[in-house]
Structure 1
Amino acid sequence: MDYKHEKLFEEKVFKDPVHRYIHVRDKVIWDVIGTREFQRLRRIRQLGTTYLVFHGAEHSRFQHSLGVYEIVRRIIDDGFSGRTEWNDEERLLTLCAALLHDLGHGPFSHAFEKVFTLDHEKFTQEILTGDTEVNEVLRRVSPDFPEKIADVIGKTYPDKLVVSLISSQIDADRMDYLQRDAYYTGVSYGHFDMERILRVMRPAEEQVVIKFSGMHAVEDYIMSRYQMYWQVYFHPVSRSAEVILMKILHRARHLHTSGYRFQHDPIPFKSFFERTIELEDYISLDESVLLTYFQWWRNEKDEILSDLCDRFLNRRLFQYAEFDPATEYRKIGELESLFKEAGIDPEYYLVTDSSSDLPYDFYRPGEENERVPIYLQTPNGELRELSRSSEIVDAISGKRRTDHKIYFPEDRLAANRDDNPLYDKILRMLKG
């Protein structure tokens, strides 16, 4: 039997708190899971700094990736297989894309990307097509198989139905992370009736559609996503930890480029500081490496780097205040001047941060980041965009919500406010 269709002698299962069991019967899938690059995902947290707010949020990209694979496996094997709209030849490709969609995430994911201007999807594609163990496994299927998976990740694969299962407004990625993140954070917001959604999913020419009778389950899913973003993903305390994390990396890069002699040479970071990143540099870096250096950097002579690392490791986070850039833009300039006068570097200790989310949108020709909408399939086969049938979804369609905060070391200011009236003035401005 050729490798593409080879099955394991006995099905392998992973016990999973969200899906109960994750089933693997394809030899390709089992071999991919065993690669160095996929095992690295065990050392990348799914929710970055959120564990400093929700202490149970220690789950990994490895767990999430298996969950996305399992949802797609169920959709294809239990729902799509044999239907004329679905090409069964795309099965293994879709399963591999689901399993590997997050392969390129770096340590602390989005915060790390922002500091070094990286794109985890591009690194996912590079890992798939580069000189890696994953690539070696995938090429056993066919020489162009890794490139096909990379095209699915990059949303350029010709079969848009395959892409929509991995990346759309109702995809396996979102369905897993909402439930998984809700489970590990202990909140109730992310729960929705996934079983019902899977039962009413149907393959169409270019994307997944939903039977009209499943509209209320989709409404629940969209509202779950809305709540999770504002109650968990954009939690202001988690953002405080992320701000400090980013400032640590900014400071370390500044020190490196200015010739500072570290007590522990930051060898794993040099290519990132100097923008000469090789694929091996990226794959070798995970959260355990960052945290080890943070421990070492606590003892550096540079007071800013030392203090920021101690804050992150021991959860001495920045306080925050509401901030409206439209009406308070002058306030930042005034505060920066006061911070400098007080001997506190505003570059590292006065930080504005914004979080924004668009819970659902429909196709708007010509707009940036056009979104393919969710379609309901009526009994007569007609496709109807979701918000035209759902008043709940219509109420939030196209409405972007943005939250602005300003972060600062209240503990440092408060400890010295009696001795220095400038500190008291700063605190009153921040909290006023």
Structure 2
Amino acid sequence: MISDYKHQMLPMEKVLRDPIHNYIYIQHQVILDLINTREFQRLRRIRQLGVANYVFHGAEHSRFTHSVGVYEITRKICDLFQRNYPSKEKGDGLWNDDERLVALCAALLHDVGHGAYSHTFEHIFHTNHEKMTTEIITSSHSEVNAVLRKVAPDFPEKVASVIEKSYPNPQVVQMISSQIDADRMDYLLRDSYFTGTNYGTFDLTRILRVMKPYSDGISFDMSGMHAVEDYIVSRFQMYQQVYFHPVSRSIEVILSHLLKRAKYLYKNGKTNCLGPTNLLFPFFEGDFSLSDYLKLDDGVLNSYFSLWQDSDDKILSDLADRFLNRKPFKSVRVSEDTRYLLPTLRKLVADAGFDSEYYTATNDSFDLPYDTYSPSQNKHRTQIELMQKDGLLVELSQVSNLVAAISGKVSGDERFFFPKEMKSSEQQLELFGPIYSEFQSYLKNDTLIKK
């Protein structure tokens, strides 16, 4: 019966060994069944950090490992809430454990729609991983949907609404999506571990201990303010030192141009240059199904890139070689004062024999470490609220000088990318001396400068 499946627990809990959480505990039959679906297993074949392994060689972890980690943190939150803040009567703002299963399923499935090299692929082929996540959950053709429907006919829509932030219980939504949620906490710790950096470490145990449910969502006990501060700073550092690393962004630029070139060749009838890449044809056409989407992963794309190294199209061949064999572009910082120089630099790159459409790019990476507090605006859904002893709430940046110092301040930079040959080839300097000399006269260390 439907109700029996909803409450069905495993005879003995299963565990997954994990370097971040030690053990990930699987207790519900529905969670185990979701993990075993083909859509969720596909996440094993998609790297969590895309091309970051070209910079941090240990960053080989997958969307699968992150997703089960988010599930585990959410499970711990539910346990703590049920143990310490169980609802006594309707409307008291405390934790109703009937929400546990929808929270756990949403946590597990929040990234199930990510595609091969997700963010770069999305940009070129106009896909959207959040939309695909919802489609996988609600489509009658997916194994995930079949599992969720066994809980209740409307259960897939409930799980999807958590991810879409429209679910009526704000506590459940904020567990999965807020400024300090299970998703962010897991990826900071996990990415820090696998990149071999320490920037993303913070006291997860302490943060979970000071979380409190209330009628409008989740708050944190005032005594845990410093642990929350540490989390905010860790997130800031990870974006600056890992997620915005210029070499990772360079490889992403090459990947983007490689896919762009393949799409151009297809659209112009030069499929002979692409070889047997039929799995990409629906995306070149801009008319793909869920089944088409789920057939792609990082390994499929890499196989195509390997074939393209021998393509008759020199640009496609060269970009595939640069991507697979780690030959990143160089880059310099661009400011408002020097942006006007970019057309000049692109022309010099073209004069040196490179197609500037595929061998130059501007790329910006900016992040808001913590949403600014503005008393004149309606309260942001994701603001971090601290609960004082008298039960009143205060927004984090109002009591933390450290968080106030970085609140609302966008960090990051804009860069201009170009072939490494424009900067370091002695042979080409001899062949194209004036072009290369002029190009390099605009560069000083890591920055574009006025002459």
Query: 2:130 is matched with which residue?
Result: 121
Between the aligned partners of 1:229 and 1:124, the Cα distance in structure 2 is 25
Between the aligned partners of 1:16 and 1:53, the Cα distance in structure 2 is 23
Q: Map 1:71-86 to 2 at 5 A.
A: 71-81=73-83, 83-84=86-87, 85-86=94-95
Between the aligned partners of 2:443 and 2:292, the Cα distance in structure 1 is 41
Cα deviations by residue, 1:235-269 (Å, 9 ceiling, x for unpaired) = 01111111111111011001110111235232111
Cα deviations by residue, 1:81-125 (Å, 9 ceiling, x for unpaired) = 552211111110000000000000011121111222222111000
Cα deviations by residue, 1:121-143 (Å, 9 ceiling, x for unpaired) = 11000000111000000000001
State which of 105, 122, 142 in structure 1 corresponds to 2:114. Answer: 105
For normalisation by structure 2, the TM-score amounts to 0.92
Query: 2:439 is matched with which residue?
Result: 426
- Aligned residue for 2:273, secondary structure, equals coil
Please report how far the alpha carbon of residue 365 of structure 1 lies from its aligned counterpart in structure 2 after TM superposition: 8.3
State which of 140, 145, 148 in structure 1 corresponds to 2:150. Answer: 140
- Aligned residue for 1:3, secondary structure, equals helix
Between the aligned partners of 1:369 and 1:330, the Cα distance in structure 2 is 40
Between the aligned partners of 1:369 and 1:353, the Cα distance in structure 2 is 32
Query: 1:12 is matched with which residue?
Result: 14
Q: Map 1:7-406 to 2 at 5 A.
A: 7-81=9-83, 83-84=86-87, 85-130=94-139, 131-260=141-270, 261-324=272-335, 326-362=336-372, 364=374, 372-406=382-416
Q: 1:153 to 1:8 in 2, by over 3 A?
A: same
- Asked if structure 2 preserves the Cα contact closer than 8 Å seen for 1:410 and 1:427, the reply is no
- Asked if structure 1 preserves the Cα contact closer than 8 Å seen for 2:229 and 2:402, the reply is yes
CA RMSD of aligned residues (A): 1.7
Please report how far the alpha carbon of residue 59 of structure 1 lies from its aligned counterpart in structure 2 after TM superposition: 0.2
For normalisation by structure 1, the TM-score amounts to 0.96
Between the aligned partners of 2:64 and 2:376, the Cα distance in structure 1 is 37
Between the aligned partners of 2:371 and 2:278, the Cα distance in structure 1 is 44
Please report how far the alpha carbon of residue 364 of structure 1 lies from its aligned counterpart in structure 2 after TM superposition: 4.6
Please report how far the alpha carbon of residue 361 of structure 1 lies from its aligned counterpart in structure 2 after TM superposition: 1.2
In the alignment of these two chains, the number of paired residues is: 431
- Asked if structure 1 preserves the Cα contact closer than 8 Å seen for 2:115 and 2:121, the reply is yes
Between the aligned partners of 2:424 and 2:73, the Cα distance in structure 1 is 50
Ranges in structure 2 where 5+ consecutive residues have no aligned partner: 88-93
Please report how far the alpha carbon of residue 429 of structure 1 lies from its aligned counterpart in structure 2 after TM superposition: 2.7
- Asked if structure 2 preserves the Cα contact closer than 8 Å seen for 1:414 and 1:424, the reply is no
Between the aligned partners of 2:310 and 2:377, the Cα distance in structure 1 is 49
Q: 1:49 to 1:369 in 2, by over 3 A?
A: farther
**401-410 vs 302-311, greater mean Cα deviation:** 401-410
**40-49 vs 414-423, greater mean Cα deviation:** 414-423
- Aligned residue for 2:51, secondary structure, equals helix
- Asked if structure 2 preserves the Cα contact closer than 8 Å seen for 1:41 and 1:61, the reply is yes
Letter aligned with residue 158 of structure 1: P
Letter aligned with residue 319 of structure 1: K
Letter aligned with residue 86 of structure 2: R
